C-alpha cells in the first residue's frame, strides 16, 4: 500500500492541497480501504468455508463447526487489519505485540469465568453435546439452539424468547434431538367404562391412527391403566416419533382421541364436587 500512498500524496500535491491535509486525507482513504478489504475478506472466507465443508449438505454438526470457524476467522482478519491500519498511520505496533503476552496473563487471572466459558464451549462443540438447530434444555430454559460459540450459546423457545447462556453455566443439558422421541398421551375415562370391552375399542383407535402421521415411525401402543384417580381411570398411549416432533404428535393424537371417544360414547370425565345436605 506504500505505492498507493505515494500516488495519493502526489495527486493531492497536484491539487495544491497542503501537506498536512494531504497526509490526513491519504491516511483516511487508506483506513477506509482496509476496512472495506476486511469486510470483503470476511465475506469471501465465509462463502469458502460453507462450500469447502458443504455445510448445507452435512447438517447441524457441519453448520455448528462452520459458524464457529467463520467467527474465529473474522476475529483474526480484524486483528490483522487493525495492525495494518496502525502501521499505515505510522503507529509502532511492536509495543502492542510485545505486551500481548503480559496482557493475556493478566486477563487470565482476572477473567477466570471467561476462560471457563471458553473451555466449556470447546468441549461442548467437539464432544457434540448439541449442535445448532437441536432442541435442548439448559439452565431451566428449553428451545432451539440458534447459535453456539466458544463463550455463549443462544437458545430460542416456542414463544420466540431468546436466552443467552454462558457455556460455563451449563452444568447439565438435556438434548431432545439425540435420537427418536416418544409422544406420551395420558387420558382418562369414566369409572362407568366397561373395561372388558374398552381394550378392543382402544385397539380400534390405535389402528385408525396407525400410518396417519409421517412423523410417527412405529405403531402407537396402548400401555393400559396408569392411575385410579378421584374422577377418572387414567390410561396412556405412546408413539415413537422422529426427533423433536413428539409435542405435535401428542396434540394431534389427543384431538383424534376426543373425537373417537365422542363417536363411541366413551365418557371423558371431569372433576365433580358432590354436596350432601343433612
CATH code: domain of residue 62: 1.10.287
Asked whether residue 256 is assigned to any structural domain, the reply reads: yes
Q: Domain range holding 259?
A: 181-263
Distance (Å, whole) CA 240 – CA 246: 8
Same domain, 163 and 258: no
Backbone angles phi, psi at 230, to 5 degrees: -65, -40
Same domain, 166 and 196: no
The pTM score is 0.51
Domain-ending residue, one of 175, 197, 216 = 175
Does residue 214 sit in helix, strand or coil?
Answer: coil
Listed in sequence order, the DSSP H helices in 129-264 are 198-209, 246-263
Residue 17, pLDDT score: 55
Q: How many domains does the chain have?
A: 3
Residue 255, pLDDT score: 95
Same domain, 153 and 233: no
Residue 10, pLDDT score: 61
CATH number at residue 229: 3.30.70.100
Residue 87, pLDDT score: 74
Residue 139, pLDDT score: 82
Asked whether residue 45 is assigned to any structural domain, the reply reads: yes
Residue 125, pLDDT score: 75
Beta strands at 233-241 and 162-166: parallel, antiparallel or unpaired: unpaired
Could you tell me the mean pLDDT of each successive run of 10 residues in the chain, 278 residues long?
A: 57 57 69 84 79 59 68 81 76 62 55 74 78 85 85 88 88 81 91 90 92 91 91 92 86 94 87 61
Same domain, 30 and 105: yes
Residue 231, pLDDT score: 86
Residue 228, pLDDT score: 92
Domain-ending residue, one of 91, 110, 129 = 110
Same domain, 104 and 156: no
The per-residue b/e assignment along 160-193, b for 16 or more CB within 10 angstroms, e otherwise, is eeebebbbbebeeeebbbeeebebebebbbeeeb
Q: What angle do CA 148, 248, 137 make, to 5 degrees?
A: 30
Asked whether residue 53 is assigned to any structural domain, the reply reads: yes
Asked whether residue 164 is assigned to any structural domain, the reply reads: yes
Amino acid at each position: 500500500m506504500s505505492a498507493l500512498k505515494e500516488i495519493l500524496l502526489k495527486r493531492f500535491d497536484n491539487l495544491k492541497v497542503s501537506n498536512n491535509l494531504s497526509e490526513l486525507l491519504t491516511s483516511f482513504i487508506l483506513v477506509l480501504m482496509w476496512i472495506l478489504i476486511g469486510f470483503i475478506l470476511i465475506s469471501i472466507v465465509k462463502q469458502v468455508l460453507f462450500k469447502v465443508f458443504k455445510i448445507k449438505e452435512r447438517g447441524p454438526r457441519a453448520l455448528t463447526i462452520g459458524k464457529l470457524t467463520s467467527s474465529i476467522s473474522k476475529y483474526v482478519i480484524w486483528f490483522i487489519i487493525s495492525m495494518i491500519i496502525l502501521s499505515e498511520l505510522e503507529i509502532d505496533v511492536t509495543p502492542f505485540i510485545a505486551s500481548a503476552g503480559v496482557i493475556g496473563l493478566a486477563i487470565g487471572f482476572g477473567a477466570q469465568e471467561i476462560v471457563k466459558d471458553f473451555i466449556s464451549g470447546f468441549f461442548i462443540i467437539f464432544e457434540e453435546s448439541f449442535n445448532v438447530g437441536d432442541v435442548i434444555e439448559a439452565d431451566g430454559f428449553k428451545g432451539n439452539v440458534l447459535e453456539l460459540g466458544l463463550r455463549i450459546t443462544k437458545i430460542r423457545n416456542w414463544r420466540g424468547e431468546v436466552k443467552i447462556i454462558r457455556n460455563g453455566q451449563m452444568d447439565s443439558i438435556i438434548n431432545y434431538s439425540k435420537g427418536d422421541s416418544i409422544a406420551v398421551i395420558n387420558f382418562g375415562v369414566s369409572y362407568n367404562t366397561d373395561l372388558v370391552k374398552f381394550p378392543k375399542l382402544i385397539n380400534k383407535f390405535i389402528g385408525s391412527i396407525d400410518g396417519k402421521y409421517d412423523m410417527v415411525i412405529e405403531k402407537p401402543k396402548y400401555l393400559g391403566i396408569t392411575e385410579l384417580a378421584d374422577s377418572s381411570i387414567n390410561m396412556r398411549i405412546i408413539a415413537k416419533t422422529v426427533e423433536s416432533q413428539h409435542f405435535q404428535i401428542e396434540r394431534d393424537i389427543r384431538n383424534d382421541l376426543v373425537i373417537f371417544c365422542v363417536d363411541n360414547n366413551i365418557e371423558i370425565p371431569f372433576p365433580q364436587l358432590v354436596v350432601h345436605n343433612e
